[in-house]
Amino acid sequence: MKKAMSRSDRLFEWGIDAFLIGVLVVTLVPMWYVAMVSLLPFGKSPSLFLPPWEWSFASYAQLIFQPTIWQATLNSLILTFGGVAISLTLTVMAAYPLSRRELPGRGFIVGLILFTFLFNAGLIPTFLVVKDLGLLNSYWAVLLNGAVSVYNLLVMKTFFQSLPESLEEAARIDGANDWQILRHVVLPLSRPILLTIGLFYGVANWNNFFEPILFLSDRNLMPLPVVLRDILTGLNVAEYVEGGAAQAAPAEALKMAAVVLITLPMLLVYPWIQRYFTKGVLLGSVKE
């Protein structure tokens, strides 16, 4: 039986829905406007809606034909996929032993790791380590320095702890060693968490701009976010604007096209990965 709603309840529902629509508008309008500006033809001023006969892909064309963009895309892919591979491997290999109750000194090691989460020595001492290791101006600096996130490590450890121990005991009786148990028993059961944390690492690496700036000086090594930042601050817009102003895109359009180009991969995969992220946050918020 559905009860008729009172006036105040109906008002309440309207208010709630209006607020949600407001959130939608506030979130989407800036992104929509970026897309509109990126499609701006030369000599027009931006507006929230472009009439269909005024679109122009000139800005995208100009960016896509730049070798710098291709090089940066390649760099970003190396850093993203290489980073995920290294990070995930290291995180699993640390989280699995730490999830075993029989590991000697387990509490001490977890404490050691937790401490680095609460206190870090700061930027300069870390920079000096990378410098002393001779990793400056090499991808290894970026790939290794941020390789393990303590947060992800602890989430993974909690997940491993929740797996039934009897499975591993059975494997051990069958003569499997630790590596075999990890590969053939634990990892196949851990697909959701591997995917979630792999995605966390992937997004972080794709977005990473500070470490490349800090550790790399060779311009050819820079990933997309760094190149985007240079374009936005107008450092090298000239590089992308060729002669022949007639077909050229306005500088504003060029900047926004760069924003769209780097956001696009994220937007394309986002609808599929979104639920994993939510799961990851909720997993992280559940403590032992």
Partner 1 sequence: MLLPGLLYFLIFRYWPLWNAQIAFRDFQPTLGVWGSPWVGLQHFLEFFNSYYFGQLLTNTLVISLAKIVLGIPPAILLAIALHETSRRFLARVVQTISYLPHFLSWVIVYGILLAMLSPSEGLVNSGLRALGLEPVPFLTSTTTFQPVVVLSEVWKETGWSAILFLAALLSINPTLYEAAAIDGASRWQQVRHISLPGIMDVLVLVLLLKIGSILDAGFHQIFVLYSLPVYSVGDIIDTWVYRQGIQNFQFSLATAVGLFKGIIGLVLIVVANRLARRFVGTGLY
Report the site for partner 1 in 221-280 (rule: CB under 8 A). 225-226, 228-229, 232, 252, 255-256, 258-259, 262-263, 266-267, 270-271, 274, 277-278
DSSP-derived secondary structure for 98-154: HT-TT-TTHHHHHHHHHHHHH----HHHHHHHHHHTT-TTSHHHHHHHT---HHHHH
**Positions 32 through 61 that interact with partner 1 (CB under 8 A):** 33-34, 37, 45-48
Residue of the chain from 61, 64, 74, 123 that contacts partner 1 (CB under 8 A): 123
Smaller CB separation from partner 1, 65 or 210: 210
Give backbone dihedrals phi and psi of 180, rounded to 5 degrees, phi first: -65, -40
203 near partner 1, rule: CB under 8 A: yes
Residue of the chain from 194, 209, 241, 276 that contacts partner 1 (CB under 8 A): 209
Q: From the CB of 214, what's the least distance to partner 1, in Å?
A: 7
The distance from CA 254 to its chain's CA centroid, rounded to whole angstroms, is: 24
94 near partner 1, rule: CB under 8 A: yes
**Positions 153 through 192 that interact with partner 1 (CB under 8 A):** 153-154, 178-179, 182
Smaller CB separation from partner 1, 29 or 167: 29
Q: Which residues, in sequence order, are CB contacts of 146 under 8 Å at separation 6+?
A: 83, 87, 204, 208, 211
17 near partner 1, rule: CB under 8 A: yes
Q: Locate 1 and state its tokens.
A: 């039986």
Q: From the CB of 144, what's the least distance to partner 1, in Å?
A: 7
CB atoms within 10 A of CB 141: 22
Instruction: Give which of 34, 65, 66 is closest to 50, Cα–Cα.
Output: 34
Q: From the CB of 74, what's the least distance to partner 1, in Å?
A: 18
